[in-house]
Amino acid sequence: MNAKKIKQSAENLEKSVCNLRTALKQDTLSDLELSGILKYFELCYELSWKTLKKRGEALGRRIASPREAFQYALEAGIITNESPWIDMIEDRNLSVHVYDRDGAEQIYKKIKARYLAEFEKLVLHAPE
């Protein structure tokens, strides 16, 4: 994996995290806005683990899943706490099957309280 692809992946992640951060500044959310935030979360999640995968593979590590990507990131010192990332796996899977506002709001609260900060920390380390 070349450095250019890793850099591009990191830049895409940074843009997506910026979009998520902006969307989370809304005080009240319509159903459409809430759905949009969940999609931004899904995109940030996918770009996060795939960026980590590219970094790990560039160093010769085989990474086949988000869980393996997050484990690599912890071992490499890219992230310091694996717990929120493991929780994200479940919430990302739930987010694509949420059909009611209550379920969507539960995930939204976690995105705002925990996950955005983790994405932002990763952005700081992603291009290294």
Q: What is the mean pLDDT of residues 118-122?
A: 97
CATH of the domain at 77: 1.20.120.330
Q: Which domain holds residue 74?
A: 1-125
**pLDDT over threshold 70, residue 1:** no
Q: Which residues of 70-98 are buried (b: 16+ CB within 10 A; e: fewer)?
A: bbbbbeeebbeeeebbeebeebbeebeeb
User: Which of residues 70 and 99 earns the better pLDDT score?
Assistant: 70
Percent of the chain whose predicted confidence (pLDDT) is above 90:
90
Q: 26-81 pLDDT, tens per residue? A: 889 999 999 999 999 999 999 999 999 999 999 999 999 999 999 999 999 999 99
Q: Which of 34, 19, 33 is nearest to 116 (CA)?
A: 19
pLDDT band at 2 (very low <50, low <70, confident <90, very high): confident
What pLDDT is stored for residue 127 in this prediction?
Answer: 62
How many domains does one find in the chain? 1
Query: What's the mean pLDDT when you consider all of the chain?
Result: 94
